[in-house]
């Protein structure tokens, strides 16, 4: 069994609650996520090799809660450095376009993307950085 990630995961500064899709009971919070999997932070260890039916509850644009359902299998579970918390690694099973779109949106929102091309154009021969840019040069809405 593969125990190392193949895709870089992005740490989220805020936690998203994860619920059992069938009972509605909370399972824990997402610690990090990628298209391949997620780490769940919970008050109890998760059963290894078990398939979990999960749900995220995301506020929609119309004020209604939007549900994003997905299935994941637990690959590992260990006690967190915080007493009374456990970290568990899950692989996503056949992720829907809805969960993939949400992951892409989260990664985009929480990622730092420097403007390399703009900065490279401002280098002078002495190696110093000459900036005549305003804040507008660095703030682009993608």
- 55 compared with 6, residue with greater pLDDT: 55
Domain with residue 75: its CATH number is 2.40.10.220
Q: Does 82 fall in a domain?
A: yes
Alpha-carbon distance 85 to 115, whole Å?
Answer: 39
The answer to whether residue 131 is domain-embedded is: no
pTM of the model: 0.67
Cite the beta strand spans of the chain per DSSP E: 10-20, 26-33, 37-42, 51-59, 65-79, 86-93
Q: Give domain status of residue 126, yes or no.
A: no
Residue 3 located in a structural domain: no
pLDDT digits (tens, 9 = 90+) for 59-116: 778 888 889 999 999 999 999 998 999 999 999 999 988 989 888 887 777 666 655 5
Q: Considering the domain boundaries, does residue 70 fall inside one?
A: yes
Domain with 19 in it: 10-110
Give the count of domains, the chain.
1
Quick: pLDDT tens for 11-48. 555 578 999 999 999 999 998 888 889 999 999 999 99
């Amino acid at each position: 069994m593969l125990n190392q990630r193949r895709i870089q995961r992005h740490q989220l500064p805020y936690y998203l609650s994860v619920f059992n899709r069938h009972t509605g009971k909370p399972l824990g919070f997402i610690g990090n996520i990628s298209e391949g999997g997620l780490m769940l932070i919970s008050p109890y260890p998760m059963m290894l090799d078990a398939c979990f039916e999960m749900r995220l509850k995301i506020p929609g644009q119309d004020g209604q809660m939007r549900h994003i359902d997905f299935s994941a299998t637990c690959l590992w579970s260990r006690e967190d450095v915080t007493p009374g918390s456990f970290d568990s690694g899950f692989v996503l099973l056949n992720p829907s376009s809805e969960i993939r779109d949400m992951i892409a949106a989260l990664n985009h929102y929480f990622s730092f993307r420097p403007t390399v091309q703009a900065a490279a154009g401002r280098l002078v021969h002495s190696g110093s950085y000459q900036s005549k840019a305003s804040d507008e040069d660095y703030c682009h809405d993608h």
